[in-house]
Amino acid sequence: MASETPVQLTCLIEGDSTVFLKPENKGVVPQATPELGYDVGGPTRDQTINKFLERLRPEIKGFLSRPRHRVWMPPETVDANTRQFYQNLGIPSIYSKPNLLLHHLGDKTNPNEDFLFQSGVNHRILCNTSGAGKTALIFDGLCSRWGFYFSAAQDSNGIGTKDLQIAIDIMSKSPGWIHNAFKNPLSDAIQEANNVNEAIAFKSVYKVLLTRWILFSAFVDVAKEQHAGNLPPDLKRDWLLFQILPVVLINDIHPFIAFMNQCLVDMSMSDLESRLAKFSPGSVLGPAFDSESDNFFYILDEAQVAGAKYMGAFADPNGEIRRPVLQPIIRAWDTVVPFESIRFIVSGTGFPLDLFKTVLTSRVSKASPSWEVVHQTGDFINRDLQKSYITRYLPPPFLSSPSGTVLVSRMYEWLRGRHRFTATFIEQLLAGAWTSNSPSSPQKLLNAYVRVFTDFNPLDCDSKLLEIEPDVDFPQLNGFAWDKIKQEKDMLKKLSTRIYTYMIRGEYPMWCNEMQDLVEYGVARFKGQGDEVIVEEPMALVGIARYFDKEGFTIDGDIRARMQAAKGVAFEEAVLLSCTRLFRVGARLSDVFRFHGVVPDWADQKGWIVSWKGQGLEVADIVNGSPIVPSVGVAYYAKNPDDVENWINCKSSVWCVPGTLMGPDLMAWLRLEDGRLIHLLIQAKCYPEGNKNTFVPKVTAEAIRSLKFYDSLHRRSAEAKRSRMLELINTDDESFTGSRYNVLRVVAAYPLDDSARSEEIASALRGDQHPLATFRYASLLSSLATHDNTRTALSSLACTFKRARENDEHYPKKRSRRNSV
């Protein structure tokens, strides 16, 4: 008699418990997968299932009869009013930590929920960057709609069951699994390998789906028993909590996983299919579900994990393109779902969207609904919206204190954008140390939180507030996944150029198609419902700028690389960078600029470049420097006179880059030692032929004359706007420059022979009595020098200029320059 072959068990971990799952038997296609039934030598399959459900039903009844989750409370050392505040608030406590994701579930405060779940014929793909609020949107929708929530990977905070994740993991351990379906390049061999793997995947997915239907039916039956055959109004929310939290356990294991372990081992494909066919939304819910008007949702979250897992183990219908496990998951759903009322929502980030959509549409039933991409999730870009969210979770006495007021303002400056930035920080704040009525170290915790994501220690907090706070540990959080960028060839160079251009020129970086990978990397978000990708979050910008520096893609190097192809624009950026570095630490104006004509008495004062912060002006810097307020470190692009007027009035960014009709190329504010403000107008000129010529007097004179606000606009309405802008410059209603406005005009030219004189230049100087200066070469070059003596942003210009003077026969000599006058 032949001995039995020992069954090999796959060991999996769920929480602190060890789970043993039997592997699936080999099968090329579902119909060709003969297996032993579970009833051989033991109880029947139905008996095992019924026994499990008999044990589960009392647990469900207990869950529906008690508070759904514990309420988080601050330490007992806080005062009674603060404890009462949080008792009334009722923040869920998950694993003994405050969880804002589950607070106020189903409040219908996000209008994007109805858009995602609206009735219709389409399945939907919910795609946006990590932390944009996709899961929160899904949870809110499932509080008022029936459906199943699956996740390809459990959330870092432990929310969501791991049944599908485990099912995916054990696929590759199944007998017959082929890791590379393309090992044999013949089309027939690829298709055969795909069929083998797909049969394994289908069976795993069917088990997860059957488990969900059987336990959902039991859940609904228990609820009906408790309410005289009716379903209570909050049961959809309760069913969601049952799916995503360990509110009910069987032998310390989530019931979904326990059921598969105990009841579905070795179940054949035909048995799985026949049992799944018995379930439908209407058969379980009865009159509570109208199949004509209602939808039942299958939702797959964290789909980017399935979109990358087992790439190449599956193939497209033609056997030409490698496919991940996401393909058989959706195919299995589509194959076993004959009900028109069921809709799929697949949510995630970090996957190439084109591949994702192709996976979903390949070989899916022609009768299936089409797929629609949704990007809208909501955000905290609006200051008032974010403030309303923050103030909901912090005690009023703290919010009205100096520290609370500063914290709310700083949170907007650093954390605005995606929901997770704000929500996770509040969770960290609540879970930290407390005084009697407030978190003990809010400012230091915000600094540490920002440092985790950006590798930069914020400078925007009053030192007096920091001194009185105890030190904090850095939060144990995952920062941005910047290293993914290096996986794409040339992406670092391309991305750094675009981000640096945005920082220095202020033209908003909105890209389509080719830059959608930025969503995966966490740099950008989808804007609205279109395919535009936008970069606007301070923490992401500061973080990516420091990552570029770390990888050797510096802003100086970027400007230097573009100096030959786009000399004029790159030179403007070099001047902006130079001025920022010189005046952020304070520099004597006469050391930086060479004044022409009458030298003002304030020329020997130090000046600092400033922008508006709170109730006053603070020294400013660009994003990749040492910005006190990160948002002001991005230049403000002024398309028209109204934009220029707005910038002059609010001083919201350190630099203004006006449109072409403005006159000046760059504008900034300098604060002198005596506290007075002067408006800096810079015209940057870099001769387009480089080594063929220098600036002749005519060009210099034109540069001087162009330093006027929209002087080329002669319409009456334009003249009125120009006058209004100019009047805004004198902030204290008093001019100290010897002319009407507190303006310093600067020509930054390269190369420019300062010894050249002409009547044209003299005429240009006489035409406007406001102070005029040129940028000293020594200052310009020294501010762009590097600590390791590498080439600077102006190295290429310096070399060509030197070559022109020494070797180029076409370079005009002094006599020819005099003759040109």
- Tens-digit pLDDT profile for residues 409-429: 999 999 999 999 999 999 999
**Model pLDDT, residue 511:** 63
**46-55, 370-379, 588-597, 700-709 — which is least confidently predicted?**
700-709
Token representation of residue 291: 């199949």
Token representation of residue 756: 């050249």
* CA–CA distances in Å: residue 774 to residues 101, 290, 323, 618, 745: 57, 77, 61, 26, 8
Query: Using 50, 70 and 90 to split pLDDT, how confident is the model at 228?
Result: very high
d(C-alpha 509, C-alpha 499), whole Å: 7
d(C-alpha 414, C-alpha 397), whole Å: 23
Total number of residues shown for the chain: 821
Q: β-strand 656-658 against 342-348: which pairing, if any?
A: unpaired
C-beta of residue 459 within 8 angstroms of C-beta of residue 627 = yes
C-beta of residue 612 within 8 angstroms of C-beta of residue 632 = yes
Averaged pLDDT, 301-314: 93
C-beta of residue 572 within 8 angstroms of C-beta of residue 454 = no
pLDDT for 103-156, tens place per residue?
Answer: 988 887 788 888 899 877 788 999 898 899 999 999 999 999 999 999 999 887
φ, ψ of residue 94 in degrees (nearest 5)? -115, 120
d(C-alpha 263, C-alpha 819), whole Å: 99
Kind plus residue range of the DSSP H or E element containing 11: strand 10-14
For the chain, how big is the Rg over CA atoms in Å?
33
Among 307, 379, 299, 347, CA closest to 127: 347
Token representation of residue 458: 């914020």
- Can you name the residues that pair with 582 across neighbouring β-strands? none
Q: β-strand 772-775 against 593-596: which pairing, if any?
A: antiparallel
Among 473, 393, 461, 468, CA closest to 433: 473
d(C-alpha 446, C-alpha 427), whole Å: 12
Who has greater pLDDT, 821 or 310? Answer: 310
Query: Taking the mean position of all CA atoms in its chain, how far away is CA 278?
Result: 43
Indicate the burial class of 486 (C-beta count within 10 angstroms; 0-12, 13-18, 19 or more).
Answer: exposed
Number of helices (H) and strands (E) in the chain: give both, helices first: 32, 25
Residue 752 has pLDDT above 70, yes or no: no
- CB contact burial 544-553 (16+ within 10 A = b; e otherwise): bbbbbbeeeb
**Model pLDDT, residue 13:** 32
d(C-alpha 821, C-alpha 305), whole Å: 70
- The whole model's pTM is what? 0.84
CB-CB neighbours of 543 under 10 Å = 23
**Model pLDDT, residue 120:** 74
C-beta of residue 420 within 8 angstroms of C-beta of residue 133 = yes
In 491-640, alpha helices (H) = 491-505, 517-521, 538-550, 555-562, 567-583, 589-592
- CB contact burial 326-361 (16+ within 10 A = b; e otherwise): bbbbbbbbbbbbeeebbbbbbbbbbbebebbbebbe
**3-12, 460-469, 482-491 — which is least confidently predicted?**
3-12
Averaged pLDDT, 296-322: 93
Hey, CA dihedral for 73, 79, 82, 88, is it positive or negative?
positive
φ, ψ of residue 724 in degrees (nearest 5)? -65, -40
φ, ψ of residue 270 in degrees (nearest 5)? -65, -40
**Model pLDDT, residue 760:** 62
C-beta of residue 593 within 8 angstroms of C-beta of residue 746 = yes
Among 139, 223, 131, 171, CA closest to 23: 171
**241-245, 448-452, 466-470, 707-711 — which is least confidently predicted?**
707-711
**Model pLDDT, residue 27:** 33
d(C-alpha 434, C-alpha 423), whole Å: 18
Termini Cα distance of the chain: 113
**Model pLDDT, residue 384:** 95
Among 622, 474, 456, 620, CA closest to 539: 456
C-beta of residue 126 within 8 angstroms of C-beta of residue 115 = no
d(C-alpha 460, C-alpha 613), whole Å: 9
SS (H, E, C) 422-454: HHHHHHHHHHCCECCCCECCHHHHHHHHHHHHH
185 preceded by cis ω (within 30°)? no
Query: Using 50, 70 and 90 to split pLDDT, how confident is the model at 464?
Result: very high
3 state DSSP class of 83: helix
pLDDT for 145-156, tens place per residue?
Answer: 999 999 999 887
* CA–CA distances in Å: residue 797 to residues 87, 567, 800: 67, 9, 5
d(C-alpha 89, C-alpha 103), whole Å: 9
Phi-psi region of 455 (alpha: psi -120 to 50; beta: other; left: phi over 0): left
C-beta of residue 531 within 8 angstroms of C-beta of residue 513 = yes
C-beta of residue 458 within 8 angstroms of C-beta of residue 410 = yes
d(C-alpha 339, C-alpha 278), whole Å: 12
Query: Using 50, 70 and 90 to split pLDDT, how confident is the model at 793?
Result: low
* CA–CA distances in Å: residue 814 to residues 308, 806, 809: 67, 13, 13
pLDDT for 706-746, tens place per residue?
Answer: 556 545 555 555 666 666 777 777 766 678 887 788 889 88
Residue with tokens 């009334």: 88
Q: β-strand 743-750 against 677-686: which pairing, if any?
A: parallel
d(C-alpha 470, C-alpha 727), whole Å: 48
Hey, CA dihedral for 80, 86, 90, 91, is it positive or negative?
negative
**Model pLDDT, residue 612:** 81
* CA–CA distances in Å: residue 89 to residues 67, 83, 392, 429, 759: 15, 10, 8, 16, 76
3 state DSSP class of 685: strand
Averaged pLDDT, 65-81: 93
